[in-house]
Amino acid sequence: MTAAGFITAARGAPLPVSGGLGDTLAGLGASCLEVLNLEQPRAVRAAHMAYLAAGARVLRTNTAAASPEGLDRWRMHDEAFIVCYMAAEHAVECARAAAAETGIDRRVLGVARVESRVRQLGFLSLDRVEAAARTMAAGLAGGGADAIVVEINQDHARLAAAIDGVRRGMADAGRSLPVLLTLRYDPMFAPPHRDRVTDDLARAAAAAAGLGIAALGIANADLADGWAATLRAVARAYPGALQVETSPASSDLTEVLDDPFLAPRLALVGGGASPNDTARLCARLASRQGRQDDSARPPAANDRIAVPARRPKGRS
């Protein structure tokens, strides 16, 4: 299956995505998890393997704070490319090894979280947003990622700049990959009133619909309970595949999985803080798929079938 095809094939039967690496790598005492891609590669690969063993079909790279601005705090601005490259290489090596051992296809999702503003400088110019996305995408694509997810706030101009930067970065690496989008709500653009949040994210989703995005989601950690309604509004503005980040016990996840409008469009579902969370999520998805299979199977010989009663002729 091609890199682009796995997202399309997963619609309606969403693939479980690995969660965060903070808890898994906490024992190393690192202040910056992304530096571990260079300094502790075995530990990073072991964390990925733990998620694969728990049932993850898609691995997220260890690059949540690997943008040039994100690494500035550790005086590693210029190392953003190699940090992303090595992060993708570690995840790809684990995914390919697991696929060869189990015969089950595994994929790698390169995470490009792009800041729109930083504490020292305020809002970044569009050129800097594009440059950061380009650097990260070049590293992630060069390292072998199967797709790239851009995480950016709802500002339309910066969203477009980040997507453009990612495509330029992939061109630098000589690869063309699916580009996914995760919208993060930034309250600096407006007070975080629920209706305003939903409206702003829906407008951003409509803007992204014309940018060739393979799948879209929202960063649910930025929202209060009840984010399923926000996702529904976003899905009305964006007609493509959807991705969901959530804890496995979320009541909103239940609502999304049971929603006839949202469920057929789900391609990726992930979240949680540990492989245990991923295992619980996999069990939940498998149970749902089992119920769907049971409802679709033909009735067995001993199944009772309710036959609607026919009205006698001549009676109203």
Q: Which two tokens stand for residue 225?
A: 């309970």
| Distance (Å, whole) CA 244 – CA 262 | 11
The tens-digit pLDDT sequence of the chain (316 residues) is 666 689 999 999 999 999 999 999 988 989 999 999 999 999 999 999 999 999 999 999 999 999 999 999 899 999 999 999 999 999 999 999 999 999 999 999 999 999 988 776 678 899 999 999 999 999 999 999 999 999 999 999 999 999 999 999 999 999 999 999 999 988 776 555 667 888 999 999 999 999 999 999 999 877 777 899 999 999 999 999 999 999 898 999 999 999 999 999 999 999 889 999 999 999 999 988 776 665 545 544 444 333 333 333 444 3
Q: Which two tokens stand for residue 300?
A: 């067995």
Q: What is the DSSP letter of 191?
A: -
Looking at residue 307, its amino acid is V
Q: How many CB atoms lie within 10 A of CB 172?
A: 16
Q: What pLDDT is stored for residue 223 in this prediction?
A: 77
Q: What pLDDT is stored for residue 311 in this prediction?
A: 37
Check if the beta carbon of residue 183 is closer than 8 Å to that of residue 201: yes
Q: What pLDDT is stored for residue 193 in this prediction?
A: 65
Q: What pLDDT is stored for residue 4 in this prediction?
A: 66
Q: What pLDDT is stored for residue 196 in this prediction?
A: 83
For helices 41-53 and 275-296, give the axis angle rounded to 10 degrees.
30
What architecture is domain 13-287?
A: Alpha-Beta Barrel (3.20)
Q: What pLDDT is stored for residue 28 in this prediction?
A: 92
Q: What pLDDT is stored for residue 178 in this prediction?
A: 97
The domain segmentation of the chain, as residue ranges, is 13-287
Q: What is the DSSP letter of 227?
A: H
Check if the beta carbon of residue 149 is closer than 8 Å to that of residue 117: no
**How far apart, in Å, are the Cα atoms of 192 and each of 195, 207, 233, 250, 285?**
8, 20, 16, 22, 32
Q: What pLDDT is stored for residue 293 in this prediction?
A: 60
Helix (H, G, I), strand (E, B) or coil at 182: strand
Q: What pLDDT is stored for residue 281 in this prediction?
A: 96
- pTM for this model (two decimals): 0.89
Q: Strands 117-118 and 122-123: what pairing?
A: antiparallel
**How far apart, in Å, are the Cα atoms of 85 and each of 35, 91, 113, 234, 263?**
12, 10, 15, 32, 34
